[in-house]
Amino acid sequence: MDTTFLYIKEAMDFLENNPNVEKALKNLVHSLIDLKRVSFKSTEFSTEHSLLRDSSLIIPGQLDQFHLNFDNLVVCKVLGDVASSIMNEQIPKEPIEALSFANRFALEIRKPKTNYYWYNSLELKFESYIVIFLHQILNLDFIAFYNSLTDEKKAEDPNLKSLDLCMSNVIPYLNNDNSKIYSFLQKLLQDDGARDAVQHSLVEFGRKNSKKAASFYVYCKDNGAIAQTGFLVHLLLGLYETNPDFYFEEAINLFDQNPKEAICTIAWLEYTKAEHISRAFTFVEDKKLSDINQLRHLPAFYCRLIQNKNTPQEILNACFKAIQKLTLQEDQQLRSDLVFRTGLIKGFDKEKYELLPSFLSWGEPGVIRSYFDHFNSPDYLFELIQNSYLTHGLATNIKLVEDAVFVQHSKNPGAVEAHILAMLSDDRPIIRFGGLQVLICKGCGVYPVAFLSLDEKQQLTVVNFLLTLPINIEELLPLCLVLRNSPFEKVQQDLTQQLNDLVWAYDEHVLLMMKPLLDLSVATDKKLYDEVEASYLKYAAEKELRMGIREFDPWENELPYVELFFRLEHEMDAEAMEKASSKSVFTQIAKSISVIRGSAFNSEHNHQISPLNTVGVSRLVDQRYSINPDKVEWEFKMSTSVNH
């Protein structure tokens, strides 16, 4: 069923001849407003979906859902009828009042939560339809109306705030002649604020109204558009979809008259034929471009060819080689675009990973942060992490990849957790430390890992590594405590021993952390808790005994000397200040103000004193470091050594 029309009158005739379609669309629009959602399940609206699925009135979505196509004049006509019914008024004849009608309707359907814009671009599409309605049905000269508006008027009137954005939806439906449209768009291209909207409107012009756009293209070529930046490019991008062979040749031939615009066009065409892709690639390579303004379009060209399903394999391979060659360019704009677009390529993990050294050769390690976002697997990311720790050891900056790990975990949680487990149970200490850094680099908390899925040797490696580290005990102890349920007796024994040793590092806090995590009604949990508690009681008794030995207590032995030092310092400072200020002119004209530090404040107009709130965070510190720092640091370096 053909439902693509360029005139509202045609849409009205179609609805009149197809009342079932009009009824289905009205039901969907009312449901959209009532449910405040833009998508529909085909199972819930099976009647409407069956009737409309072979038309352009709806757009298929994911998970058996579909959307109304508000780019279609038929759908917009039904939306306009529903809006008139809800607002109890017809679309006004004056343009600003009509746009106000659209804004008031949008506000009405947002109620009661008027700040919740649930409908995405529906309001903008409805405003565009109203402008088209005024132009085609009520004979509004849109170009004259737009030209009559001053910048101040557009800035002050809220009903005009989206007018520039509507332009791309309106231009294809204008009845004006080519010369008037060309002069209008040519003038707007000089306006930085409207340039993007104009360029988008040219693309849509070619797509939606190919017959008129074709004659418009010829007119523009004959009247100097070839020399203008961004004019013919965007018109060709839309027209290519309607006649690929002809407009591809036009893009190629444009090179002789405007090379920069030709390369831009060739780079951004949505190629549908393999022969066009092969010829475009060969054409660009044969030109051996050296002008930086032309070279800056090549990252988009190569990356778009890689993502195009019609690209032959030999061209794919050549594109990756061409990207590597581009990394030798020193232009910062080109480099930024190159690494950005390469990172956006979905899949091709091996090829992208092989390009990474070329990007890192720029001396900017920050390129890694989002480079792995579109990899299909985290394998290469973790290969990079392991190689970094083997090469740079403790100097490796895990923050460079923490975003990449997070993104990969959101896509492939099982694979990321498997890699973390493999690193934590690795035989090489520095790899285990790298695994720990990945484990705790999550923005809030740690990544979940299943230690019980490891074999006996791996579980022993994990428990004897993590619980001996002098850091992050708050995160590591709960993770390791699950190994109390290990089927291996040796693992349970080592876990108990490590927990007993932690008492000497963290005092009673070990018991306080363990208790909420254990079920003391379970015999094995009760036994583990009792053993650690017994170690704590033994530790507490020895601590009390040691605290009773005062002969070597620095507080007792050195306090008088410390107090004497500060007293003498205070006296000397007072004498120096008195001597310096005795003949000072400044002290004669200044006054003394006592500054008192406290925990409250008052404002200029409110004399009530308000206490300050305390905000802070505390971390447990391994107290063994204070007793024998050399020993702790040595053990830590040995446990994370690259060569150990």
Confidence of residue 595 (pLDDT cuts 50, 70, 90): very low
Q: Which two tokens stand for residue 53?
A: 């699925």
Residue 363 burial by Cβ neighbours in a 10 Å radius (0-12, 13-18, 19+): exposed
**Bridge partners for 71 per DSSP:** none
The answer to whether residue 59 is domain-embedded is yes
Q: DSSP for 619-639, please give it.
A: ----THHHH-HHHHHHHHHHH
Q: What domain range includes position 369?
A: 354-449
The whole-number average pLDDT for the span 622-643 is 78
Answer for the pair 324, 352: CB distance below 8 angstroms, yes or no.
no
Separation of alpha carbons 635 and 466, rounded Å: 13
Query: Crossing angle for the helix pair 73-87 and 19-35, nearest 10 degrees?
Result: 60
In 88-209, alpha helices (H) = 95-110, 122-136, 142-148, 151-156, 163-170, 178-188, 195-208
Q: Is residue 115 classed as helix, strand or coil in its secondary structure? A: coil
The C-alpha atoms of residue 487 and residue 499 are separated, in whole angstroms, by 18
- CA dist 405 to 33, 212, 280, 400, 474, Å? 40, 51, 37, 10, 22
Note the pTM of the prediction, 2 decimals: 0.80
> Could you give the percent of the chain with pLDDT greater than 90?
70
Output the six-digit token pair for 425.
């149970």
pLDDT for the residue 192:
81
Whether the Cβ atoms of residue 438 and residue 398 lie closer than 8 Å to each other: yes
594 pLDDT band, cuts 50/70/90, is: very low
Residue 220 forms part of a structural domain: no
Instruction: Give how many domains the chain has, as a whole number.
Output: 2
**pLDDT band at residue 349 using 50, 70 and 90 as cut-offs:** very high
The answer on pLDDT for 618 being more than 80 is no
Q: What percent of the chain has pLDDT over 70?
A: 94
Among 449, 481, 500, give the residue marking a domain's end: 449
Residue 380: name the closest of 355, 410, 358, 363 by CA.
Answer: 355
> Taking the chain, what is the end-to-end CA distance rounded to the nearest angstrom?
73
Please indicate, yes or no, if residue 171 is contained in any of the structural domains.
Answer: yes
pLDDT at 357 exceeding the cut of 90: yes
Q: Is residue 608 part of a domain?
A: no
- The last residue of a domain, from among 425, 449, 473: 449
Give 217-236 pLDDT, tens digit per residue.
999 999 989 988 889 999 99
Helices 473-481, 429-439: axis angle to 10 degrees equals: 100
Phi first, then psi, for residue 65 (nearest 5°) are -120, 165
R_g (Cα) of the chain, nearest Å: 36
In a domain, 167, yes or no: yes
Residue at 277 is within a domain: no
pLDDT digits (tens, 9 = 90+) for 466-498: 988 877 888 889 999 999 999 999 999 999 999
In a domain, 233, yes or no: no
Mark which of 175, 207, 238 sits at the end of a domain: 175
Is residue 163 included in any domain, yes or no?
Answer: yes
616 falls in which pLDDT band (50, 70, 90)?
low
The reported pLDDT for the residue numbered 602 is 66
What pLDDT, on a 0 to 100 scale, did the predictor assign at position 119?
87
pLDDT of 592 reads: 47
Average pLDDT over residues 173-196: 89
CA distances from 529 to 482, 513, 514, 539 (A): 13, 11, 8, 15
